[in-house]
Structure 1
Amino acid sequence: MDEIYRALNGYPKRMIGLSALEAIMGNFFHTYEEYAGFILKLEQEGFLEMVKSKGRTTRNPSLAFQYRINKSLLQTGFHQEIQHYRNKLHPSINLDEYYKKDPSIWRHDLPYLIKINEYIKTFGFPKESVPAPERSFELVQDEKWLTEKGGKELLERIGLFHSFNIIPVSDPLMFAIHPNLVSKETQFHLIVENKTTYQGLLPALPSTEFSTLIYGSGKKIIHSIEQFRDQYPVNAQHHFFYFGDIDREGVSIWHSLNQKIKAHLALPFYKACLEKQPIAGKEYQRQYTEAQEKFISQFPQKEQEQLAMMFSQGKYYPQEILKSKELQEIWRGSDWNRWICKRY
Structure 2
Amino acid sequence: MYQRLINYLKSYKKATITLGELENLVPGNYSYNTFAESIMQLIDDNILIKKNPKITNGKEVPLPYKFGINKYELRREHIDNIQRYALNISEEIDLQEYFNLSEEVWNKDLPYIHKINEYIEKNGLPKDYVTPQERSFNIAKDEKWIAEKGGKKLLERIKLWEKLNIIDSTEPLMLAVNPRQFSKAKYCHLVVENKATFMALLDVLQDTEFTSLIFGSGWKIVGNINMLNRQLGIKGTSRIFYFGDLDNEGISIWNSLNEKVCANLAVEFYRELIKKPYSQGKETQQKNDKALKNFTSFFYNEEKTKLEEILKNGGYLPQEALNKDELGHIWRNTKWV
Q: TM-score range by the shorter chain?
A: 0.5 to 0.7
CA distance in 1, matches of 2:332, 2:309: 31
- Offset from partner CA, 1:98-144 (integer Å, 9 cap, x none): xxxxxx9xxxxxxxxxxxxxxxxxxxxxxxxxxxxxxxxxxxxxxxx
Q: Which residue of 2 aligns with 1:239?
A: 239
Distance 1:36 1:276 in 2: 74
Q: Cα 1:33–1:274, aligned 2, differ >3 Å: closer, same or farther?
A: farther
Q: Deviations over 1:230-263 (max 9, x none)?
A: 1012121110000000111111111111111010
Give the drift of 1:26: 2.9
The structure in which a higher percent of residues are helix is 1
Task: Confirm whether residue 25 of structure 1 aligns to residue 36 of structure 2.
Answer: no
Amino acid at match of 1:268: E
Query: 2 CA distance for matches of 1:283 and 1:316?
Result: 9
Runs of 4+ in 1 over 6 A off after TM superposition: 56-59
* Fraction of identical pairs, as percent: 36
Contact 1:185 1:237 in 2 (8 A): yes
Contact 1:188–1:210 (8 Å) recurs in 2:
yes
Instruction: Report how far residue 38 of structure 1 moved.
Output: 3.6
Residue type at the aligned position of 1:335:
K
RMSD between superposed Cα atoms in Å: 3.2
Residue of structure 2 in register with 1:322 after alignment: 322
Question: Which of 25, 37, 45 is 2:24 aligned to?
Answer: 37
Q: What is the rounded CA distance, in whole Å, between the counterparts of 1:274 and 1:324 in structure 2?
A: 16
Q: Which amino acid aligns with 2:261?
A: I
Q: Say if 1:318 and 1:60 are closer, same or farther in 2 by CA, change over 3 A.
A: same
- Equivalent residue number for residue 260 of structure 1: 260
Distance 1:228 1:39, change over 3 A: farther
CA gap 1:238/1:34 in 2 versus in 1, 3 angstroms: same
Amino acid at match of 2:278: P
Q: Which amino acid aligns with 1:176?
A: A
Q: Which residue of 1 aligns with 2:121?
A: none
Matches within 5 A, 1:1-344: 24-27=7-10, 28=12, 34=21, 37-38=24-25, 40=27, 60=34, 169-337=169-337
Partner SS for 2:214: strand
SS at match of 1:245: coil
Structure 2 gap segments, 5+ residues each = 36-104, 106-145, 152-167
| Change in 2 beyond 3 A, CA 1:22/1:225 | farther
Distance (whole Å) between structure 1 residues aligned to residue 183 and residue 229 of structure 2 = 15
Specify whether residues 271 and 60 from structure 1 end up closer, same or farther in structure 2 by C-alpha distance, changes over 3 A only.
Answer: same
Asked if structure 2 preserves the Cα contact closer than 8 Å seen for 1:241 and 1:263, the reply is: yes
SS at 1:221 equivalent: helix
Cα distance in structure 2, aligned partners of 1:246 and 1:331: 18
Matches of 1:321 and 1:171, distance apart in 2: 29
Contact 2:5 2:25 in 1 (8 A): no
What are structure 1's unaligned runs of at least 5 residues? 1-16, 42-55, 62-103, 105-147, 154-167, 338-344
TM-score by length of 1: 0.54
Distance 1:151 1:240 in 2: 27
